[in-house]
Amino acid sequence: MPVTDPAWGVRVFGFAGSAVIAVLLGLDLAPRPPDATHLATIVVCLLCALLCARLPKETTRRLAALALPASPVLGCINITIAMRVAESASTAMALSLLYGWFATFCALYGRRWHTVLSLALTGPGLCVGLWEQIGGFRAAVFALSAVAVLSVSTLVLAVVSEQVRRASTTDSLTGAVSRRGLTERAPGFALRHRGRHRGVAVVVLDLDGFKTYNDVHGHAAGDALLVEAVRAWRRVLPAASLLARTGGDEFVALVTTSAVGAAADADLLDDLRRAAPDGVRASAGSAPWPVGTTLESATHEADRAMYLDKGDRRRGAVAAPPAGPPNTPAVVDQEAGRAAHPSPS
């Protein structure tokens, strides 16, 4: 699981944050008899830490897709409650450092607004958590100082992290999503766009005669053709689509369908075939990505359909499909929660 994967962040940051809260509150209880509220908070934190450590990878990825939009609010509430439960001011101050830990998580794995919102909630959270421990005025001064320092470092980290994440999940030539980006973003795409009367389909695209074009016109012209093809396909694909480059002239697109279990619309495939520039045509094939199946299996079916399409245009010459599934990342449908085994990127 790569470090850039939000599922990795949920596992590491969730485990460490929950464990630290449990340990600090446990040390806070050492000099005095156990308190029911303290014990309950410690048990909940330990369970959260265990859950983060033991959840299957695909379940963690699904949890990350669901939790990230609400993570700034949830994190602030959890830390503030722990600070209120703490008996001593020193423990509450130590717990307040977790705001920085949580803001770092938002900067690394969330969108820009996640980071801004987490910083905006840090000040009020510190005031509420420390109000009774060190007094209202001191709590306010500490909160303002902490937010000022945290904001600069976290926003810089957010900008750098976004650039690194974009570089690792984007094809540098065409600007399409990379193979790794497809692996990371496909689960969230399926989760967002599947519905009661909607489905998700996989489209495989391949430029016909690209090797010959490359040999005749040169590699620079071939690169330019790939860039223009991606631009043209983006104009044809619906707005809610995900286009990835998975090989030299091989592309995979995730699209929504108007019916559950349906492949992409035939008119859309025709438009994609004709959209390639400079007189080059593309072969296209599609297959549904049903609930409970992997992206790899759906892509394999779409790839076979693409080869049949390529063979049909060769005046009946049958183009043999590749032996075995194509080298496409295996991503398990999130709603089924079944494990997958992605090939190394």
Per-residue pLDDT reduced to its tens digit, 98-148: 887 778 888 777 777 777 777 777 777 777 777 767 666 676 677 677 777
- Looking at per-residue confidence, does 313 or 227 come out higher? 227
Angle between helices 89-96 and 112-134 (to 10 degrees): 170
Q: What is the pLDDT of residue 339?
A: 38
Helix ranges, the chain (H): 6-29, 36-54, 57-67, 71-85, 89-96, 98-109, 112-134, 136-169, 179-193, 210-217, 219-236, 266-275, 295-313
pLDDT digits (tens, 9 = 90+) for 148-182: 777 777 777 777 777 777 777 889 899 999 988 89
Q: What is the pLDDT of residue 344?
A: 41
Cβ neighbors of 69 (< 8 A, separation 6 or more) are 114
Mean pLDDT over residues 38-62, rounded?
82
Mean pLDDT over residues 213-233, rounded?
91
- Whether 203 shows a pLDDT value over 90: the answer reads yes
Alpha-carbon torsion (47, 50, 55, 60), positive or negative:
positive
Please write down the HEC assignment for all residues of 117-178. Answer: HHHHHHHHHHHHHHHHHHCHHHHHHHHHHHHHHHHHHHHHHHHHHHHHHHHHHECCCCCCEC
Q: Which ranges in the chain are annotated with CATH 3.30.70.270? A: 179-313
Q: What is the pLDDT of residue 135?
A: 67
pLDDT averaged over every residue in the chain: 78
Question: Within a 10 A sphere around the Cβ of 220, how many other Cβ atoms?
Answer: 9
Question: Within a 10 A sphere around the Cβ of 153, how many other Cβ atoms?
Answer: 13
- Whether 237 shows a pLDDT value over 80: the answer reads yes
Q: What is the pLDDT of residue 283?
A: 92
- Whether 264 shows a pLDDT value over 50: the answer reads yes
pLDDT band at 337 (very low <50, low <70, confident <90, very high): very low
- Looking at per-residue confidence, does 12 or 220 come out higher? 220
Q: What is the pLDDT of residue 258?
A: 82
Fold of the 179-313 domain: Alpha-Beta Plaits (3.30.70)
Within 13 A of 328's CA, how many CA atoms are on the CB side? 28
State percent of the chain over pLDDT 90: 17
Q: Which of 74-78, 276-280, 318-322 has the lowest mean pLDDT?
A: 318-322
pTM of the model: 0.59
Note whether 4 and 169 are within 8 A (CB): yes
